[in-house]
């Protein structure tokens, strides 16, 4: 337990002396500590205990336990032997109260963690994004596409004013032209009809080609724009274009009457826009 300081003992003794003087008639003033009488202070070198402190007197004030007085007396004796003041010795020998233990916050696994290791940095501080080569659709892409659409529309309008469309005469329902060819952009499909069943030529083969073109961006995910790094994509698109271009060229220049195969430098050219 902590030692009682000397100044508190003195103040308690003075209070008891004043109380005794008031009970005795109030005529005599309370004696100062250290003077004669039955109320000698516990801090005197004689080591005698006050009547109120030892519990043997008739005072009705609070009594200090005997073990506290013994500890205070021994502390004074040790301080007097070492040359220190009694009050300083009592303060020096008094143990400091233990500081309350800080609460330890533990994580889900039982280990201690700092707050910044749990909270994402983006939610509490401004993190600059790394520069990328991507842009927003609006306005960067859509503005360019809109301007391109306006230019194409203006070119088509001006071209149609100065150049007549290659239209033929009115169709005669009683006469079928020979050869009867579709427009050039459908001649590849008409050429397939001469080789395969209509279901295969009109649905299966074009469907497979379109499906492969749809899967091309997912099979080749290389972000590079260099041709040597995009061999798969370039090969697939080249194969598709060459296959369809060859069919269009054959249907346009190498098909004659009855849609039979002819040589244009021998039989002539059976093709009109």
Confidence band, pLDDT 50/70/90 cuts, at residue 263: very high
Cα–Cα distance, 235 to 167 (Å, whole number) = 38
Cα–Cα distance, 254 to 270 (Å, whole number) = 8
For residue 49, give every residue at least 6 positions away whose Cβ sits within 8 Å of its Cβ, in sequence order, or none.
42, 69
The residues that bridge with 112 in the sheet, in sequence order, are 106
Confidence band, pLDDT 50/70/90 cuts, at residue 91: very low
Taking phi over 0 as left and psi of -120 to 50 as alpha, with beta for the rest, 53 belongs to alpha
Please state, for a pLDDT cut of 90, what percent of the chain lies above it: 18
Q: What are the CA-CA distances from residue 185 to residues 2, 214, 244, 249 (Å)?
A: 106, 21, 9, 10
Cα–Cα distance, 183 to 98 (Å, whole number) = 100
111 or 161: which leads in pLDDT? 161
| pLDDT value, residue 53 | 43
Tell me which of 10-19, 33-42, 127-136, 170-179 is least confident: 33-42
Taking phi over 0 as left and psi of -120 to 50 as alpha, with beta for the rest, 23 belongs to alpha
Confidence band, pLDDT 50/70/90 cuts, at residue 75: confident
Check if the beta carbon of residue 118 is closer than 8 Å to that of residue 108: no
- Judged on CB neighbours under 10 Å (0-12, 13-18, 19+), 75 is buried
| pLDDT value, residue 200 | 93
Question: Within a 10 A sphere around the Cβ of 40, how many other Cβ atoms?
Answer: 19
Instruction: Please give the angle made by the CA atoms of 196, 198 and 202, to the nearest 5 degrees.
Output: 100
**Full-model pTM:** 0.41
Listed residue (64, 58, 92, 66) closest to 78, CA to CA: 92
pLDDT, average across residues 169-186:
86
The residues that bridge with 261 in the sheet, in sequence order, are 255
Taking phi over 0 as left and psi of -120 to 50 as alpha, with beta for the rest, 258 belongs to left
| pLDDT value, residue 208 | 92
Confidence band, pLDDT 50/70/90 cuts, at residue 130: low
- 44: helix, coil or strand? coil
pLDDT, average across residues 67-94:
67
- Structural element, H or E, at residue 133: none
* pLDDT tops 60 at residue 49: no
pLDDT, average across residues 115-135:
61
Question: Within a 10 A sphere around the Cβ of 54, how many other Cβ atoms?
Answer: 14
Query: Which of the given ranges, 66-70, 82-86, 112-116, 152-156, has the highest pLDDT on average?
Result: 152-156
Long-range pairs of 161-167 with CB within 8 A, sequence gap ≥ 24: 166/272, 166/273
Confidence band, pLDDT 50/70/90 cuts, at residue 112: low
Tell me which of 4-13, 45-54, 82-91, 230-239 is least confident: 45-54
| pLDDT value, residue 222 | 85
């Amino acid at each position: 337990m902590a030692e009682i300081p000397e100044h508190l003992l003195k103040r308690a003794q003075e209070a008891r002396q004043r109380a005794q003087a008031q009970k005795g008639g109030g005529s005599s003033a309370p004696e100062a500590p250290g003077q004669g009488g039955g109320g000698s202070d516990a801090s005197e070198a004689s080591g005698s205990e006050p009547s109120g402190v030892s519990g043997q007197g008739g005072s009705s004030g609070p009594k200090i336990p005997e073990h506290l007085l013994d500890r205070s007396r021994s502390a004074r004796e040790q301080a007097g032997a070492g040359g220190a003041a009694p009050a300083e010795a009592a303060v020096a020998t008094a143990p400091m109260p233990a500081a309350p233990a800080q609460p330890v916050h533990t994580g889900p696994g039982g280990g201690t963690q700092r707050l910044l290791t749990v909270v994402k940095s983006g939610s509490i501080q401004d993190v600059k994004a790394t520069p990328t080569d991507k842009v927003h659709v609006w306005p960067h892409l859509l503005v360019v596409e809109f301007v391109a659409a306006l230019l194409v529309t203006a070119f088509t309008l001006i071209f149609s004013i100065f150049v007549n469309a290659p239209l033929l005469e009115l169709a005669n329902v009683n006469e079928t032209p020979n050869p009867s060819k579709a427009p050039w952009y459908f001649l590849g499909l008409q050429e397939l009809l001469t080789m395969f069943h209509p279901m295969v030529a009109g649905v299966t083969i074009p469907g497979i080609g379109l499906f492969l073109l749809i899967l091309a961006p997912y099979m080749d995910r290389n972000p590079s724009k260099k041709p040597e790094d995009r061999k798969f994509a370039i090969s697939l698109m080249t194969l598709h274009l060459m296959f369809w271009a060859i069919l269009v060229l054959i249907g346009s220049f190498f098909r004659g009457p009855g849609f039979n195969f002819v040589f244009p430098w021998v039989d002539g050219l059976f093709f009109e826009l």
